[in-house]
Chains A and B, each alone.
Chain A
Amino acid sequence: MHRLAVLALACLLLATPTTRAQDSLSLSCAVCHGARNAPSTVPSFYGMSTAQIESALRDFRSGAREGTAMPRLAKAMSDDEIRALAYEFGAPVR
């Protein structure tokens, strides 16, 4: 029990700084995914909802979804980073 509590606390502490990671991480996305309305052959996430982006990244990370560049990157992303990216780029809910 004690062990679990320590683990939970450690996770919390670890999670705190990663919520800011989206800054330097998310700025790199445009290098391949470009701007919002640009036509693209690289699959675009613009227009996807926050939930859709989050599940796509999770699937890349788990291997459930195949891809070229994205699985390599997603495999190193924390839950917080995935959530932050999804929030950053997810289409606003109307």
Chain B
Amino acid sequence: MTPPDRRRRALLLAGLSVAGLPLAAWALKPVRERPRLIIVGGGFGGAACARQLRYLMPAADITLVEPRAQFFTGPSTNAALASVCAEGDIVRGPAALEALGIRWIREAATALDPVARRLRLASGTVLDADRVVLSPGVAMRWDRIAGLDATTSERMPHAWLGDAQVSRLRERIESLRDGATIAISAPANPYRCPPGPYERASLLAWRLSARRLKRCKILLLDAKDDFTKRALFQVGWDTLYPGMVEWVPHAKGGEVLEVDARRNTLRLQNGSRLRVDLASVVPPQRAADIAVAGDLVDESGWCPVNPASFESTRHAGIHVIGDACIAQPMPKSAFSANSQAKLVALAIAAQFAGGPAPVPRLVNTCYSLLAPDYGISVGGLYGVVSDRLSTLNDGMSPLGAARELRAREAAYAHEWYEQITRDTFG
């Protein structure tokens, strides 16, 4: 994608000629003329960062390491599960980045030496970098819910990682009969896409209602006592699907402690054992394995970063963005990852050009659909205050609003999806 307008390009060029001055200075320092930048992960954060770095640093040697040519995007996964859209509509991948002159290596990184900034790939190839940006997303914690692991999870699909579980869960949903009980579990914070489990329950209710399976029941089993946009979701459930969605908070023992995937049973913290027709268990999460291998996570399982540049506080020259990093109060969303990616690209470009660091301003808006024509949103602007990432202002859709507003926000949600995927993947 070309930068949005001509003036922008002119500004960019002006910036580059200014940056041309320090080029001479580089020659004196032990910095390469073609800085080697490696981005690990070609999802929302990584693809946006590679693209932005390419615009800002035309001379840099940019390599993207991502094993998946295609994946289902997190955003709109719930819509696809409820057949609001087709599975094919939510398939994206990093291929278009190659045309920009970004080298894409279709492999997973297996090890990272964060001091030498040396990456080892699955094939054994070793890559050295001047800067590494990691946006590898999340991994599931299989040690938290008894009986749940990578294998048994296939029978209680989370569909949280854009893989084949999405198709499996959609098929399971389509084969539900009237009177079925469905359990969706939500983990404790922090995790990828805070409104995700609640949007899933909503759109599932929509799909079942559309199929006239009115006696179905959806249980939201929660490890928390509150969740994002809760009042908006609850008003929506009462209005659209009265009696169909039941939220069981942590205080009522809703946390899932154990599952028997073969028997479709779940043991809750309140001692009850539930047998359901379908369970989608979203496990507790942490930063992806490569972040652990690179010694970038702290005891929380996530990667601490300097909020002005998203550079790891554990290892210099390594930046971590997206779901893997600690960016509270920003939620772990595709929008956050995209916004962080652009800030990091600006910060890296400024470092190599010897220019001033960018002022961090980050944006997020998370839309959720309760029905194809019923959308709600939460969003905010973030900056660094006293060295901490802070909310400068935020807000959400009004509680009492006409259906027209919900319909408008649903239309915005659909459009947001098209825009962010184009902005990120091309």
Contact = CB atoms under 8 A, between A and B. Distances in A.
Nearest to B391: A76
B242 interface: no
Given A69-B365, A71-B395, A72-B394, A35 B1 contact: yes
Given A68-B408, A88-B7, A89-B5, A42 B360 contact: no
B7 A31 contact: no
A32 B412 contact: yes
Contact of A81 (B335, B361, B395): B361
B420 interface: yes
Contacts of B361: 21, 24-25, 28, 81
A92 B379 contact: no
Q: How large is the interface on B (under 10, 10 to 19, 20 to 34, 35 or more residues)?
A: 35 or more
A68 B409 contact: yes
Given A30-B423, A68-B412, A17 B380 contact: no
A73 B415 contact: no
Given A20-B356, A24-B358, A69-B379, A31 B5 contact: no
B416 interface: yes
A75 to B, nearest CB: 4
B308 to A, nearest CB: 10
A17 B359 contact: yes
Given A24-B346, A75-B393, A31 B377 contact: no
Interface string B349-370: 0000000101111110100000
Interface centre among A21, A33, A34, A38 (most CB of B within 10 A): A34
A72 B379 contact: yes
B338 interface: yes
Interface string B212-232: 000000000000000000000
B8 interface: yes
B358 A20 contact: yes
A33 B346 contact: no
Contact of A20 (B5, B359, B418): B359
Nearest to B383: A76
B377 A24 contact: no
Nearest to B424: A31
Contact of A77 (B6, B335, B381): B381
B25 interface: no
Interface in B381-426: 381, 383, 392-395, 397, 405, 408-409, 411-412, 415-416, 418-420, 422-423
Contact of A41 (B360, B383, B394, B412): B412
Interface in A7-63: 17-18, 20-21, 23-25, 27-28, 30-36, 38, 40-42, 46
Interface centre among A30, A33, A81 (most CB of B within 10 A): A30
A81 B365 CA distance: 19
Contact of B377 (A35, A69, A89): A69
Contact of A23 (B359, B381, B411, B416): B359
B415 A40 contact: yes
B380 A73 contact: yes
B4 A89 contact: yes
B170 interface: no
Given A24-B343, A71-B395, A32 B419 contact: yes
Contacts of A76: 380-381, 383, 392-393
Contact of A36 (B5, B11, B412): B5
Contacts of A36: 4-5
B342 interface: yes
B412 A69 contact: yes
Given A31-B339, A32-B412, A23 B423 contact: no
Interface of B: 1-2, 4-8, 11, 52, 335, 338-339, 342-343, 346, 356, 358-363, 365, 377, 379-381, 383, 392-395, 397, 405, 408-409, 411-412, 415-416, 418-420, 422-423
List 8 tightest A-B contacts by C-beta distance, closest first. Answer: A76-B392, A76-B393, A25-B361, A28-B363, A72-B395, A21-B359, A76-B381, A27-B342
Interface of A: 17-18, 20-21, 23-25, 27-28, 30-36, 38, 40-42, 46, 68-69, 71-73, 75-77, 81, 88-89, 92
7 contacts: A27-B339, A35-B2, A35-B422, A40-B419, A68-B405, A69-B412, A72-B394
